[in-house]
Structures are given as C-alpha cells and as structure tokens.
Amino acid sequence: MTGTLFSFGHGYTARALSRRLALKGWRIVGTTRDAAEKDAIRAAGAEPLVWPGEAPDLDGVTHLLISTAPTAKGDPVLAALRDEIAARAGQFDWVGYLSTTAVYGDHKGGWVDETTPATPTAERGRWRLQAEQDWAAIPGLPLHIFRLAGIYGPGRGPFSKLKKGGLRRIIKPGQVFSRIHVEDIALAGAIAARKNKGGVYNLCDDEPAPAPDVVEYAANLMGVDVPPLQDFETMKMSPMARSFYGECKRCSNKKLLKLLGGKMRYPTYREAFSSMWEKGNWRG
C-alpha cells in the first residue's frame, strides 16, 4: 500500500523514514522551521513546508508523523491544530508519534518494556509523556507511539569527534544506555505505516551498553587512540549532559522484533559502526 504522509518536524529521523517510503511511491510532506532546510527535505523525498508560517493542508493525508519536541506548554502540533486533527481522526489510517525512552525514568539498570509504568524523572521525559497522553486522548485516532532510545547513524556517531580528538570516555559504574540506528527506526516506521500498526513500542537495539565500551569499539575500528577513562563524579559537564547519567535502564526490544519479523538490521552498535566505517558514511 501507499499513502500520503504529513510529517511534522521533518528532521534526521523523519527524513530516514521518508526516503524509505518515497521509494515505495508515497507522497510525503515534511515541515521545518528553517527555510534553509528545504533542499535537504527534498533530497529525502519529501515536499518541504515551512511551519509555523505556511498553513498545513491535511486534505488527502492518510498518515501523520509527529516528531516535534514538546515544551512545558505541551505539544506544538496539538497546540495549533488539535481541533482540526480531532475532526479528521477518522480520515487517518495511522498516526505515529516519536517519543523517548526517557518516559520510563530511572530503573537503576533494570529492564523496562512497554508494560512498565512510565515514571519520568527528567524534564524532557515528563514533557514527552504528557504529549503522549495528549495525543492518546483524541478519540478515534489510530495512534502508534515509538519510544526511541539514543539515536545514531550517518553523521551522528562517535567517529567525527574521535577524529578531532574531542570525545570523552566517561565512566560511571553500572551505567548503561540503550541505542538504535536511524535505519532501524525508519524500517520500523515504514512497516507500521504500511500495516497501520498501532500501540506503544520501544525502539532500541539488542544490547544496552556502557558508553566507554562504545567509544572504545569505534576508536579501535578507526585505528586511533582510545580516549582515557574520566570519572563522571569529578567531570565538568553541562546540566543537560549530566541529566542523561541520572537515569539508568535497559530497554527491551522484544515487541519491536516481532514487528520487524525477528531481526534488526543493526542488532548492536558493533554491526552498525563496522558498516558505517567500512562504507564511509559516518560523516553524513
């Protein structure tokens, strides 16, 4: 099947999805706040729209994708278009909302899945959970919530910083992070959109891992010196960077694997980094 996807906040992740759907004959419209991004959106197979600014036309739209970041005031798409979207709820075959695994909060390294109660501790997690709930409150909306782990891929990874010698290897005992390659997000989104799948899904790979291990693997691939370990407790970090270390959990992808037919393209950072380095697409 094909359709018309309207993507609010057509950034890094949404563009990966649009490239995949465009190859299947979909029409995609993607919004940006910056008119300078129009060419990049076109290159990803979508029609650009500067929003806020130009008025979104939802006539004929079968699928919605929302990746705009919420604020303390809520989700910006709902703030502007809630009544129209609610009135059109029966028009849409699928509505995808890109959220974050930060909604789970801190579990001291324990495993979380989609049945785990959301108890966010960080501000960004609280805002995302509220946005999830606000979208879910619209009657009749075929909503699919993706809770994304740390996103990486071409142009987003440790390689460039290692090249410049500016990457730190931070050690905090017991700390792990879940991650996912952008192409696995795009694959999951494309399958869900085509099959009109709904519900809540964690999007993460098979192996939550300590950040120092990930940096070391990338450095060894490149043949550069592995940055020395630095202690989290004594390091100077921005409040935002430090907040990421305030939560520790292992995110399960068992439900995602069922959606993907049992296998991810990049089940861990090792396969992903090796492919990115060999193909030379780590720069973007």
Instruction: Give tens-digit pLDDT for 16-73.
Output: 999 999 999 999 999 999 999 999 999 989 999 999 999 999 999 999 999 999 999 9
pLDDT (tens digit, 9 = 90+) per residue, 93-106? 999 999 999 999 99
- The tally of domains found in the chain comes to 1
Question: Which CATH number is 9's domain given?
Answer: 3.40.50.720
d(CA 128, CA 104): 11
In a domain, 9, yes or no: yes
160-207 tens-digit pLDDT: 889 888 788 999 999 999 999 999 999 999 999 999 888 999 999 999
Alpha carbon distance 131, 167 (integer Å): 33
Domain assignment present for 37: yes
| CB 247, CB 122: distance < 8 Å | yes
Main-chain phi, psi angles of 97, to 5 degrees: -115, 125
Instruction: Give the model confidence (pLDDT) of 71-96 as tens digits.
Output: 999 999 999 999 999 999 999 999 99
Domain, as residue range, for 74? 4-279
Q: Model-level pTM?
A: 0.94
**pLDDT given at position 284:** 52
Q: Which residues pair with 7 in a beta bridge?
A: 30, 65
273 lies in a domain?
yes
Identify whether 76 is preceded by a cis peptide bond (ω within 30 of 0): no
Cβ(275)–Cβ(266) below 8 Å? yes
Long-range contacts of 224-227 (CB under 8 A, 24+ apart): 224/162, 224/163, 226/169, 227/162, 227/167, 227/168, 227/169
